[in-house]
């Protein structure tokens, strides 16, 4: 790619490291064989490929996480409750993809209703990590990350409530972007926690993830939280360089418990940022230690409310029973164990005797976490942290230990609590497994984190 004028055409972006595109038949054959990853819950048929517009993604296959509504393909959220459900409308992001010329390759696997960090909580079986099939791909957008990492598609959409785009991108060795809350319309995204949910993009490269972000971003009158702000050419930010950029290193995100090989890769990434022209300085985010409990109180409270609609009357698979109470019981019994756990926790923290002690306290803590970021971004342009404390872990290792699973989100949930953009980019391998570095920016600071990620990616060349 010629970077002289730092303005890229979409064709240059898509040919940056070779096309790597596969046909629908290729995807079906790969997924249906012994080496399949269970990345897709549904692969499109040729007749599902509606005539598309002539835009920057003309003819490009894009995969969708299966909590994004489509008319032609089922939308299950990885749950028996919605098995076989077909939406009567399409999400705004799907409409924008079609207008840009993209072809929807299919719907990807996820933790049920987005609740999980490993894609093991899907009612339709776990997705395998294409780097090592004995490992999880991360979650909850593990199917999307695996599909990109395996070369089934070059781009995919996921959703990120507490790291669900960035962590699987890190585990699979690809790029994941969670934009500012309100940057992408959530119309047609099935809700988990409405104040935290955001659709995000996954790409094989920073350029591809950025181009996809550019295509699906923008105001939507059907989403009251959608912001009326112009959409920059994010693809250009990926190659604009970072000369003079100030990068903050939050001390709270580099605890002594980090494994030495992980810390070594993070230190090397900081050195590469400096070599690319950035200044690196330490900063403090003092309320970080409260992020995980704050997040899991708020997210479960919102999930308890959002998932109340799946009762067999309004939504969800209706099971025959005598009386409404028995029907509710049978229908909601179809939720998986992790979803039930979070509904129960959310109902508890919202109960009258505990509301202020838990939910009210968590809301105040959230404001403090957001203020920490505001203060930090008065001094620096972006922040650099680990995406996850470790590379991908073995299938089954943390299924019976939910606390250990929740702690894998320790570096990602703060971006959702504060509403700021975050991005994971590969920074090398530990024991042959990909590790991701996370870049965080201020509200509407996507271009800054994309520029820093582009500089890092360029410094590694093909090595990551």
| Annotated catalytic residue, options 65, 210, 217, 304 | 65
Query: Where do runs of H (alpha helix) occur along 123-189?
Result: 142-149, 166-172
Helix (H) or strand (E) holding 112: none
Whether residue 229 is preceded by a cis peptide bond, meaning omega within 30 degrees of 0, is no
What is the per-residue DSSP string for 231-276? Answer: PP-HHHHTTS--TT-EEEEEGGGS-TTS-HHHHHHHHHHHHHHHHT
Give CA–CA dist 374/207, Å, rounded. 28
**Scanning the structure block, which residue is given the tokens 């490992």?**
135
Supply φ then ψ for residue 306, to 5 degrees.
-65, -35
DSSP letter for 154, please: S
Q: Which two tokens stand for residue 178?
A: 């969670």
- What is the pLDDT at residue 242? 99
Q: Which two tokens stand for residue 421?
A: 């953009």
Q: What is the pLDDT along the chain (464 residues), one digit of tens a residue?
A: 333 344 666 556 555 444 456 789 999 999 998 889 999 999 999 888 876 788 999 999 999 999 999 999 999 999 999 999 999 999 999 999 999 999 999 999 999 999 999 999 999 999 999 999 999 999 999 999 999 999 999 999 999 999 999 999 999 999 999 999 999 999 999 999 999 999 999 999 999 999 999 999 999 999 999 999 999 999 999 999 999 999 999 999 999 999 999 999 999 999 999 999 999 999 999 999 999 999 999 999 999 999 999 987 777 777 777 778 888 788 888 899 999 999 999 999 999 889 999 999 999 999 999 999 999 999 999 999 999 999 999 999 998 888 888 888 999 999 999 999 999 999 999 999 999 999 999 999 999 999 999 999 999 987 76
DSSP letter for 87, please: -
- What is the pLDDT at residue 3? 36
| Annotated catalytic residue, options 118, 144, 164, 408 | 164
Can you say how many angstroms the Cα of residue 104 is from the centroid of all Cα atoms in its chain?
18
Is residue 65 annotated as part of the catalytic site, yes or no?
A: yes
Give CA–CA dist 206/212, Å, rounded. 10
Q: What three-state secondary structure class fits 459?
A: helix
**Scanning the structure block, which residue is given the tokens 């606390």?**
403
- What is the pLDDT at residue 331? 82
Q: Which residues of 402-437 are buried (b: 16+ CB within 10 A; e: fewer)?
A: beebbebbbbbbbbbbbbbbbbbbbbbbeeebbbbb
Give CA–CA dist 158/201, Å, rounded. 6
**Scanning the structure block, which residue is given the tokens 């996370």?**
438
Q: Which residues pair with 249 in a beta bridge?
A: 282
- What is the pLDDT at residue 314? 75
**C-beta separation of 128 from 137 below 8 A:** yes
Is residue 164 annotated as part of the catalytic site, yes or no?
A: yes
Give CA–CA dist 442/449, Å, rounded. 9
| Annotated catalytic residue, options 140, 210, 226, 408 | 140
Strand 422-430 with 175-178, pairing: antiparallel
Is residue 217 annotated as part of the catalytic site, yes or no?
A: no
The CA-to-CA distance between both ends of the chain, in Å, stands at 18
Q: Which two tokens stand for residue 52?
A: 């598309």
Domains of the chain (ranges; CATH) run 10-243+384-460 (3.90.1300.10)
> Which of 213, 206, 7 lies closest to 100 in space, CA to CA?
213
In which order are the strands placed within the sheet that holds 155-160?
40-43, 103-108, 61-65, 155-160, 198-203, 175-178, 422-430, 433-440, 382-386, 246-250, 279-283
Angle subtended by helix axes 260-275 and 446-460, to nearest 10: 100
- What is the pLDDT at residue 414? 99
């Amino acid at each position: 790619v010629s970077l002289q004028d730092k303005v890229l055409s979409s064709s240059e972006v898509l040919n940056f490291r070779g096309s790597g595109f596969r046909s629908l038949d290729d995807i079906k054959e790969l997924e249906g064989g012994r080496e399949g990853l269970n990345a897709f819950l549904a692969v499109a048929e040729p007749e599902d490929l509606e005539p598309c517009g002539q835009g920057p993604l003309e003819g490009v296959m894009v995969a969708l996480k299966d909590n994004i509504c489509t008319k032609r393909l089922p939308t299950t959220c990885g749950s028996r409750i919605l098995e076989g459900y077909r939406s009567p409308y399409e999400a705004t992001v799907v409409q924008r993809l079609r207008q840009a010329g993209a072809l929807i390759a299919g719907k990807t696997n996820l933790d049920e209703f987005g609740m999980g960090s490993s894609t093991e909580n899907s009612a339709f079986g776990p997705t395998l990590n294409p780097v090592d099939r004995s490992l999880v791909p991360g979650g909850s957008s593990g199917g999307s990350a695996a599909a990109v990492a395996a070369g089934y598609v070059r781009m995919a959409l996921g959703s990120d409530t507490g790291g669900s785009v960035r962590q699987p991108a890190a585990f699979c060795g690809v790029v994941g972007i969670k934009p500012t809350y309100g940057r992408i319309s959530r119309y047609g995204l099935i809700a988990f926690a409405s104040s935290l949910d955001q659709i995000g993009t996954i790409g094989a490269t920073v350029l591809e993830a950025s181009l996809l972000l550019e295509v699906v971003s923008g105001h939507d009158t059907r989403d009251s939280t959608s912001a009326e702000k112009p959409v920059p050419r994010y693809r250009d930010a990926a190659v604009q360089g970072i000369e003079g950029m100030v990068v903050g290193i939050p001390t709270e995100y580099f605890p002594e418990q980090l494994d030495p090989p992980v810390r070594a890769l993070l230190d090397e990434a900081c050195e590469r940022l400096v070599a690319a022209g950035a200044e690196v300085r330490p900063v403090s985010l003092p309320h970080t230690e409260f992020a995980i409990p704050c997040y899991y109180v708020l997210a479960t409270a919102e999930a308890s409310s959002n998932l109340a609609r799946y009762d067999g009357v309004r939504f969800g698979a209706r099971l025959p029973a005598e009386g409404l109470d028995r029907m509710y019981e049978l229908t909601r019994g179809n939720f998986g164990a992790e979803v039930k756990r979070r509904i129960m926790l959310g109902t508890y923290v919202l109960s009258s005797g505990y509301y202020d002690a838990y939910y009210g306290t968590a809301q105040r803590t959230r404001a403090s976490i957001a203020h920490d970021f505001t203060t930090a971004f008065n001094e620096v342009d972006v922040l650099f942290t680990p995406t996850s404390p470790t590379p991908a872990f073995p299938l089954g290792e943390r299924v019976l230990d939910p606390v250990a699973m929740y702690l894998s989100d320790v570096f990602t949930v703060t971006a959702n609590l504060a509403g700021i953009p975050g991005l994971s980019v590969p920074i090398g391998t530990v024991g042959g497994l990909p590790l991701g570095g996370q870049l965080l920016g201020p509200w509407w600071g996507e271009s800054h984190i994309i520029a820093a990620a582009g500089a890092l990616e360029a410094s590694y060349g093909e090595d990551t």
